[in-house]
Structure 1
Amino acid sequence: MELGNEFGRVNMPEQKPHILVNFLVRAIIGIAIIFL
């Protein structure tokens, strides 16, 4: 149970940048569609 808690804490910071990258990719695709 303690290992699971530590794993969850490690995973949380990893997910936040991933969401930001996903948002940036969607924004770039949206801008590309507008320019096309």
Structure 2
Amino acid sequence: VATELNNRPRKTLSWKTPAEALNKLLSEPFNPPGVALTT
């Protein structure tokens, strides 16, 4: 049951599976918004 649910595309993820969304998120460089850089 868990495998079936985890492989199901989700509307909230633009019809991607959770694994596809996670892979996209992890492949992008980490750049947190709103964090000031100090010099």
Q: TM-score, normalised by structure 1?
A: 0.36
From the two aligned structures, give the one with the greater helix fraction. 1
Q: Which has the higher contact order (CA 8 A, sep 6+)?
A: 2
The structure with the larger Rg is 1
| TM-score, normalised with respect to structure 2 | 0.34
